[in-house]
Structure 1
Amino acid sequence: MNGQPEKMTVVAMTGPGGPEVLVAEERPLPVLNETEILIKVAAAGVNRPDVLQRMGAYPPPKGASDLPGLEVAGTVVAVGPAVQSVEVGSRVTALAPGGGYAEYCKVHAGVALPVPMNLSMIEAASLPETFFTVWSNVFDRAGLTAGERFLVHGGTSGIGTTAIQLAKAFGAEVFTTVGSDEKAAAAKALGADHVINYRTGDFVEVIQTVTNRQGVNVILDMVGGDYVEKNWKAAAVEGRICQIATLNGVSQNVNFARLMMKRLVHTGSTLRPRDDAYKAAIAAALREKVWPLIEAGTIRPVIDSTFPLHQAAEAHRRMETSGHVGKIMLRVSEEA
C-alpha cells in the first residue's frame, strides 16, 4: 500500500482487566473503505473511555477496531477513492472510533483536521476527543452563550482543561471543581474564574454565595452519583446539565420537584457511537470557530505526560491515579 509495510505494531488487550492486559503485538495494516484515510500515527491520546474499554465496560461500536485509542495525529499515507478533502502527505489530527494505539490508524476523512501550525504532533493528538466532546455538549446541546455562568467538574482532566478554555474564550464566567490546591492553581492559570476544592468545600454552597443564589446556567458533568442532585441545586432557573460519564455510578435518589420548579434540562450523550456525518459536522465547526483560537495561542492543549506506545499500560496506570493535569499521551513515532 503506497510503499507501506504489511505489518504494524499495535497495543491490544489480552482480555478485560487491569493495565497489564495491554500488550504489544503485530497486525496487518487497516484496509480502507472509499471514504476513509490511513494515517501513519505519530502520537495518540489516552482517554478515560480507553480505560473503560480495557476493563470490559465500553465495547467498541460495530465495525470499529477492537484496539483502544480514540484520537491520533500523524501523516496521511493513503486515501479511499471517494476522498477529496484530504490529500496524501497532509499532517492531520483525527477522532477515531478505535484503533489509535497503533502505528497506522484509519478514520473517516470528515473527522480529520489539519495539525495547527504552532503545535507538535503530541499536542495535536491531544485535541480531538476532548474538543469534539466539549463542543458537541457544551455549545451544541447546552447552547452556552457569552455572559452565562458555566461549571465543569474535574477542571484539570482532559475534558476539564478543554472546557475551561473554550467556555472562557467564548465569553462565559467559568466555575470548576478540583481535588487539590495544586490543581486549583492549574485551573486558575487556564482561565477559570472560580475554582472550588471539593475536598475542602461544598461547590453548591460556594456557587450559591458567589452568584447571589442565581446559580450557573450550564453544567458539564462526568461524575454522576450524588453529583446529579448537587448539580440541580447549583443550576440556575432554566439551567442545562450535560452528562457525559458517571464515574461515581448512577444516582439512587434525586428530587424531581427541583427539576420541575427550576425548569431544568438534564441531557447527556456519548460520542463514540455517533455516525460519521455527525462527527464530521463537529469537525467543521471546530475548524471554523476553534482552530483559529488554537493557532493564535488563545487556547492551548495541556499535556500531563507522554509514554512510548509500548508503555501504554503505564499510561493507563497514570490515568487511574487521577493525579494528572491535562492529557496523557502516547508517542508512536519519532515524528512526534
Structure 2
Amino acid sequence: MKLKGIHHVSAITASAAENYMFYTKVMGMRLVKKSVNQDDVSVYHLYYGDQKGTPGTALTFFEFPGTSSNREGISSISLISFRVRDDKALEYFARRFDEFGVWHEDIAERAGRKTLYFKDPEGQRLMLVSDNGAVSESFIPWELSSVPIENQIMGLGPVRLTVKEPGDTLYVLTEIMGYRLKGSYRAEVQGQKDIIVLETGEGGSGTEIHLEERSDLPFERQGYGGVHHVAFRVEDEAELREWISRIDDNRIRNSGFVERFYFKSLYFREPNGILFELATDGPGFDTDEELEFLGERLSLPPFLENRREYIEKVLKPLDTAVRRS
C-alpha cells in the first residue's frame, strides 16, 4: 500500500473567467472539467491538466468571488510547481511570460533542478521545473494547446509545505503516509533552516513534498492566490479504504470515504493544519464527457443533476468552448 505521488492541487481564485484565460491561453493547459464545488454548488470548480486530466497533472480552482487576497504564512501550501520537459521549455516560458506581462524571476537551480519561479495574476506562487529531458509516460499532450507540444506542462512537480514545527508533519508523512527522506537544499530566506525533500512511490519530481520550516511568519490567511489542499494518488477504491483504516488506527480525525464521482477521496489535516486528500486514480474526468469536448459544458455528478436548473441559474456564465479550425 503505497501512495503514487501528487494527484492534484486545489487553489482559490476570485474570478473563474480570468483564471480560465490565464491557465488555458498563457499556460497552455486544458480545462478538463467545468464543475461546481460539491460542498458549495454556488461556485465553480475548474480543473486543468493534460489532454484528459491524467492523475498527477491536475491543478484545480475553487472560485470564491469577493474573497480577499491570500496572506502568506505558515501552516500552508506555499508553492505549486509544474514539470516541463527540459531547460529549453523553461526558456520558452520565460520569453512567453515577458510577452504576456507575467511576473517571474530568472531561471535558477533549486534542489538540483533548473526552475523558473513566477506568479499568476492573483499572486499564486508557482514554479516550472525542468525534468532534464525526461519524457513522462503518463503525460498526454493536448494538440489544441496554445503552447507547442515540446514545451507543454507535463504534470505537477514538487509541492512545498511551510510550517512552524516540522517534526509532527514529518512524522505523518514518513511514518503514516510512507514518504521517505530524499535530501535537502538551502532555504531561500536567510537565517531559515534547509528545506527537506521527501518522495514516495517510484520517486521523481511528481512525487515530491518539500517541507519548509519558517520561524518568521504568521499563520497564513487563505484567499485568492492561496492553496486550499493537496491530494495524493491512491490506486483504487479498495486501497483507499485501506488508507482510511490506517488513518483511523492512528486516531487522525478525517472525513471518511467521500464520493467525488471523478475519483474517490479521504480528507484529513496534518498536525500543522494543512488539508491533505487521498484520491483514487479513477474513474477519471472522461467518465461523463467525450474526451474531445472535456470542460466545454457544465458537468455535474449524478447526485447533483436534480439541482442543475438551480445551479445554472446562480452561476455566472463562463464560456469555455474551444475554437477549432
TM-score, normalized by the shorter chain, greater than 0.5? no
TM-score in terms of structure 1 length: 0.23
Higher helix share: 1
Report the TM-score, using the length of structure 2 for normalisation: 0.24
| Larger CA Rg, structure 1 vs 2 | 1
**Structure of greater relative contact order (alpha carbons < 8 Å, 6+ residues apart):** 2
